[in-house]
């Protein structure tokens, strides 16, 4: 429309003044808005290394729900990002105790997020559900499948509270991971212990069979058939012996995994109170207010010209 450039050219001082005043008012209004702070934390799962069970034993272990394919109890990395977003974890975060800042509690007392969101008058289940919904909207979870990095972000009116909430997430994930790995190690230990006893019995039987062969066939070296039978018996003994040693190694490793209390995740970026607020961004609010006011003024002037040319 050729009318718009002409209108902007002839009335540019009015548009400039309107944009300036709207920008100032918009920026001033941000001082009345409660600031929001975004805390960030990231971690990666700790991978374990160890002995790998033979394929036949791995299949047997899998039937018992035991992950024995990677030489150690392990949790798929993607599980951690899904875990943080479960209602069970959010409920634990909601019911944890925090030092409540002045922006949510005038006395800066200790309390749960139910106290922080002023839901103490609600019934307990209803208040917990409300906090869980607020945590869901305030928390962002990203998972990088390539680097296996899990990144958490939480928004709060207080930088200290945002960091404390993230720390609760990390602590809960850590406890869950350690308990899960210990449970896997316990199951692996029980399986390896049972299987090693079976293999020990089979190995003893195979060694006895080879011993009886030697006693009954002292001149076996002169018979090709007996030599072939001796080779078969020795292969059986060697195979059972190798498998037995592997399972015993796995058993000892599972015992160590069950007893140890090491972290299951490595925190790459620990949660820390952010130094700058994430919202409101004053310059952005001022710019939006200026653009919107100019658009409103332009619409008004165009409407007047069309009504009274």
Query: Band of the pLDDT at 72, cuts 50, 70, 90?
Result: low
> 177 with 261: CB under 8 angstroms?
no
Residue 184 lies in a domain: yes
Q: Answer yes or no: do 64 and 183 share one domain.
A: yes
CA distance 39 to 140: 10
What mean pLDDT is predicted for residues 114-121?
82
Residue 223 lies in a domain: no
Q: Answer yes or no: do 87 and 26 share one domain.
A: no
Enumerate the β-bridge partners of residue 142. 151
What mean pLDDT is predicted for residues 18-39?
74
Residue 185 lies in a domain: yes
Residue 2 lies in a domain: yes
Residue 250 lies in a domain: no
Can you give the pLDDT at residue 238?
93
The CATH number of whichever domain residue 167 belongs to comes to: 3.30.1890.10
Query: Band of the pLDDT at 68, cuts 50, 70, 90?
Result: very low
- SS3 string, the chain, reads CCHHHHHHHHCHHHHHHHHHHHHHHHHHHHHHCCCEEEEEEEEEECCCCCCCCCHHHHHHHHHCCCCCCCCCCCCCHHHHHHHHCCHHHHHHHHHCCEECCCCCCCCCCEECHHHHCCCCCCCHHHHHHHHHHHHHHHEEEEEECCCCEEEEEEEECCHHHHHHHHHHHHHHHHHHHHHHHHHHHHHHHHHHHHHHHHHHHHHHHHHHHHHHHHHHCCCHHHCHHHHHHHHHHHHHHHHHHHHHHHHHHHHHHHHHHHHCCCCCEEEEECCCCCCCCCECCHHHHHHHHHHHHHHHHHHHHHHHHHHCC
Q: Answer yes or no: do 155 and 296 share one domain.
A: no
Q: Answer yes or no: do 289 and 274 share one domain.
A: no
Q: Answer yes or no: do 11 and 130 share one domain.
A: no
Residue 240 lies in a domain: no
Q: Answer yes or no: do 26 and 85 share one domain.
A: no
Top-ranked range on mean pLDDT: pick from 67-81, 94-108, 204-218: 204-218
The half-sphere exposure of 218 on its side-chain side, counting CA atoms within 13 A, is 1
CA distance 158 to 93: 16
Q: Helices 159-216 and 87-95: crossing angle, nearest 10°?
A: 130
Can you give the pLDDT at residue 46?
78
Give this prediction's pTM: 0.66
Q: Answer yes or no: do 10 and 105 share one domain.
A: no
CB atoms within 10 A of CB 273: 14
More confident call, 59 vs 233: 233
CA distance 120 to 91: 16
Mean of pLDDT over the chain: 80
Q: Answer yes or no: do 142 and 70 share one domain.
A: yes
Can you give the pLDDT at residue 51?
41
pLDDT at 7 over 50: yes
The two three-digit tokens of residue 195, written as one number: 């299987």
pLDDT at 107 over 70: no
Q: Answer yes or no: do 13 and 138 share one domain.
A: no
pLDDT at 216 over 50: yes
Q: Answer yes or no: do 111 and 165 share one domain.
A: yes
Query: Band of the pLDDT at 60, cuts 50, 70, 90?
Result: very low
The two three-digit tokens of residue 108, written as one number: 């800066």
Q: Any idea which of 83-92, 99-108, 187-196, 264-273 has the lowest mean pLDDT?
A: 99-108
pLDDT at 39 over 60: yes
Q: Answer yes or no: do 269 and 303 share one domain.
A: no
What mean pLDDT is predicted for residues 203-214?
92
Boundaries of domain holding 185? 36-190+261-279
Can you give the pLDDT at residue 168?
94
pLDDT tens for each residue of 249-269: 988 888 887 777 667 788 999
**How many domains does one find in the chain?**
2
Residue 239 lies in a domain: no
Residue 232 lies in a domain: no
Q: Answer yes or no: do 103 and 63 share one domain.
A: yes
């Amino acid at each position: 429309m050729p009318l718009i450039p002409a209108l902007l050219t002839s009335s540019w001082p009015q548009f400039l003044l309107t944009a300036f005043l709207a920008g100032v008012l918009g920026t001033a209004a941000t001082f009345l808005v409660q600031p929001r702070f975004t805390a960030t934390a990231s971690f990666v799962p700790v991978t374990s290394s160890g002995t790998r069970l033979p394929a036949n034993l791995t299949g047997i272990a899998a039937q018992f729900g035991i992950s024995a394919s990677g030489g150690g109890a392990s949790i798929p990395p993607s599980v951690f990002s899904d875990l943080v977003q479960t209602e069970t974890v959010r409920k634990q975060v909601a019911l944890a105790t925090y030092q409540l800042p002045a922006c949510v509690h005038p006395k800066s007392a200790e309390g749960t997020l139910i106290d922080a969101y002023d839901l103490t008058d609600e019934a307990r289940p209803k208040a917990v559900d409300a906090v869980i919904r607020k945590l869901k909207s305030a928390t962002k979870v990203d998972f990088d499948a390539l680097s296996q990095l899990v990144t958490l972000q939480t928004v709060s009116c207080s930088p200290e509270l945002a960091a404390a909430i993230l720390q609760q997430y990390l602590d809960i994930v850590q406890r869950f991971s350690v308990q899960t790995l210990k449970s896997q190690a316990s199951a692996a230990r029980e399986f390896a212990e049972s299987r090693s006893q079976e293999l020990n019995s089979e190995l003893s039987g195979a060694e006895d069979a080879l011993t009886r062969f030697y006693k009954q066939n002292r001149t076996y070296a002169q018979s090709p058939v007996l030599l072939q039978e001796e080779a078969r018996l020795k292969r059986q003994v060697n195979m059972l012996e190798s498998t037995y040693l592997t399972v015993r190694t796995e058993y000892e490793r599972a015992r160590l995994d069950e007893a140890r209390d090491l972290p299951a995740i490595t925190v790459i970026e620990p949660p820390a109170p952010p130094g700058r607020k994430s919202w409101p961004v004053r310059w952005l609010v001022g710019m939006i207010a200026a653009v919107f006011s100019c658009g409103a003024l332009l619409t008004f002037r165009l409407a007047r010209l069309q009504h009274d040319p």
